[in-house]
Amino acid sequence: MSKRPIYMDHAATSPLREEVLEAMLPYLQDKYGNPSSLHSPGREAREAVNEAREKTARALGADPKEIFFTSGGTEANNIAIKGTARRQKKKGHLITSSIEHHAVLDVCKELAAEGFQVTFLPVDRYGMVSLETIKRALTPDTFLISIMTANNEVGTIEPVAEIGALARERGILFHTDAVQAVGQIPINVREMNIDLLSLSAHKFNGPKGVGALYARRGVSLEPLYRGGGQERKLRPGTENVAGIVGLGRALELAVEEMPEKSRRQQELRDRLIEGLLGMGDVVLNGHPSARLPGNVNVSFNYIEGEALLLGLDLEGIAASSGSACTSGSLEPSHVLRAMGLEEQLARGSLRLTLGRGNSDADVDYLLAVMGPLVERLRRMSALYPRQN
């Protein structure tokens, strides 16, 4: 088995597809018009943006008028949550979960500091939000529920359609951070009663720095910035035309290939999980079945996740411990802690997220490398029980 770079960190970001680059290149070179210009280069750019808007809407079961391009998932989450909060007549109540990405959690904390009431819901040991806890948290002042479609660390898929139905029934807005889910699992904003949804192109083999917010017609949002008429004044500023074209093409391809890709990834995922659990003193984090097709998250007793990560990197494998955004600090993941994992296990977590390029040979190589690495690290650990 040869040593070669193997990328298993697709939840952090995924490689740009050749077809997507091809679609983008003209808009970085010859087709450089500003979509707001009335001349033909401008109109050409405007048409490309509109086409991408149509593709994005089609992928979500939305209307093109309900799609607003942003600089990524973080900005879409900020516009969705702050944008609805700022349109409330009084500082009401919003509900989110304790396992959201910081791009939701920190926005909610900021609103709490401004005087809004915020409930951060607990989750069960699989990282699942229950409908019952949402119902119990509702108050007459609740104006927004924001629950992610799938978790970026443990891959648990939340009961989004049920939450959507509950919110619609009560006349409460429902936002979902679908950054990890779009392009991986089927989503239909109408069928799932979603009012606001955030997505990000670089998670489905599109370019970085571009995303979109779906906002159902009739949902009133206060823009975060002022300065231009672009994106119907919700997100002013000259459009990232090449990025938007790339987003549209990448999403179109991801949805087209989803059934085959997710079947394939699920097979690899399950083989990885089985192999890793077989190493002993290893637990699976996240839901066993309601789980993104490409997500593996396990905790190794007696080992620091960072040590595993560096050991794998030396063997040419790119993985993650906790989420990309929290690694770098040695704080145990807030997601794993919210799921009730004790600190030692939370520190020993490893996330492997699969993508289009991964193969059976990658799984074989990882499992072959992992056994000796785990054994070596455990031998060095003061906590590991000795035989004699």
Q: Give catalytic residues, as residue numbers.
A: 325
Element counts in the chain: helices (H) and strands (E)? 11, 12
Tell the smallest beta-carbon distance from residue 201 to ligand PLP (Å). 8
Among 56, 180, 265, 295, binds ligand PLP (CB under 6 A): 180
For tokens 């490893």, the residue is 350
SS3 assignment, position 381: coil
- The answer to whether 177 contacts ligand PLP (rule: CB under 6 A) is yes
Provide the CA 24 distance to its chain's centre, in angstroms: 23
- The answer to whether 55 contacts ligand PLP (rule: CB under 6 A) is no
Nearer to ligand PLP, 120 or 384 (CB): 120
Residue pair 213/201 in contact (Cβ under 8 Å)? The answer is: no
The span from the CA of 291 to the CA of 269, in Å, is: 10
CA distances from 212 to 85, 193, 348 (A): 19, 18, 34
The span from the CA of 56 to the CA of 45, in Å, is: 17
Task: Tell me how crowded residue 13 is: count the other CB atoms within 10 A of its CB.
Answer: 15
Total binding residues for ligand PLP by CB under 6 A?
14
Tell the smallest beta-carbon distance from residue 264 to ligand PLP (Å). 22
Radius of gyration from C-alpha coordinates of the chain:
22
Tell the smallest beta-carbon distance from residue 69 to ligand PLP (Å). 12
Provide the CA 213 distance to its chain's centre, in angstroms: 13
Nearer to ligand PLP, 275 or 332 (CB): 332
Nearer to ligand PLP, 126 or 384 (CB): 126
Tell the smallest beta-carbon distance from residue 276 to ligand PLP (Å). 22
Among 10, 17, 101, 269, binds ligand PLP (CB under 6 A): 101
Cβ-based neighbours of 47, under 8 Å, separated by 6 or more: none
Nearer to ligand PLP, 72 or 322 (CB): 72
Among 23, 53, 69, 72, binds ligand PLP (CB under 6 A): 72
Provide the CA 211 distance to its chain's centre, in angstroms: 11
Please report, as residue ranges, which positions from 114 to 153 form the binding site for ligand PLP (by CB under 6 A).
148, 152
Identity of the residue numbered 217: R
Please report, as residue ranges, which positions from 307 to 336 form the binding site for ligand PLP (by CB under 6 A).
324-325
Cβ-based neighbours of 191, under 8 Å, separated by 6 or more: 61, 161
- The answer to whether 179 contacts ligand PLP (rule: CB under 6 A) is yes
Find the part of the chain contacting ligand PLP (CB under 6 A) among 40-48, 72-80, 240-248, 264-272.
72-80
- The answer to whether 103 contacts ligand PLP (rule: CB under 6 A) is yes
In the chain, where do the E strands start and end? 6-7, 67-70, 93-97, 117-121, 142-146, 173-177, 196-200, 211-215, 282-284, 295-300, 317-318, 349-353
Q: Report which residue's Cβ sits closest to ligand PLP.
A: 73
- The answer to whether 200 contacts ligand PLP (rule: CB under 6 A) is yes
Residues near ligand PLP (CB under 6 A): 72-74, 101, 103, 148, 152, 177, 179-180, 200, 211, 324-325
